[in-house]
Structure 1
Amino acid sequence: MTIPYPEHVVVVITTSIAVVLAVLLHYEALWLISRQIERSHRPHRQRILAMAFGVLMTHIAEIWLFGLTGWWMAELQGIGALNGYSAFNLLDHIFFAAVTYTTVGYGDIYATGPIRFLYGTLALTGFVLITWSASFTFVEMQKHWRVRK
Structure 2
Amino acid sequence: MLLVTFLIAMTLVALTFVMHFAILKFLAREIRNEGSRLKWPLLTVTFSLFVAHLLEVLLYALAFLAIDMAGIGGLQGAVHSSHATLADHFYFSIASYTTLGIGDIVPLGSIRLVAGFEALNGLVLIAWSASFTYLMMERLWRIDGDE
Normalized against structure 1, the TM-score is what? 0.89
Match of 1:130 among 116, 126, 147: 126
Matched, 1:105 2:101: yes
2:32 paired residue number: 38
For 1:68, the aligned partner's letter is L
> Cα offset for 1:38?
1.3
Q: 1:48-70 CA deviation, whole Å, 9 max, x = no partner?
A: 11111111111011000111011
Compute the RMSD of aligned alpha carbons: 1.4
Equivalent pairs: percent with the same residue?
35
The answer to whether the 8 A contact 2:27-2:45 is kept is yes
For 2:131, the aligned partner's letter is S
Matched, 1:62 2:56: yes
Structure 2 unaligned regions, length at least 5: none
Q: How does 1:1-149 map to 2 (within 5 A)?
A: 7-39=1-33, 40-43=36-39, 46-75=40-69, 77-84=70-77, 85=79, 86-145=82-141, 146-147=144-145
Q: 1:12-67 CA deviation, whole Å, 9 max, x = no partner?
A: 11111111000000101100011111112433xx1111111111111011000111
Q: 1:100-123 CA deviation, whole Å, 9 max, x = no partner?
A: 101111110010112210000100
SS of the residue corresponding to residue 112 of structure 1 reads strand
Aligned length: 140
Normalized against structure 2, the TM-score is what? 0.90
> Cα offset for 1:87?
3.0
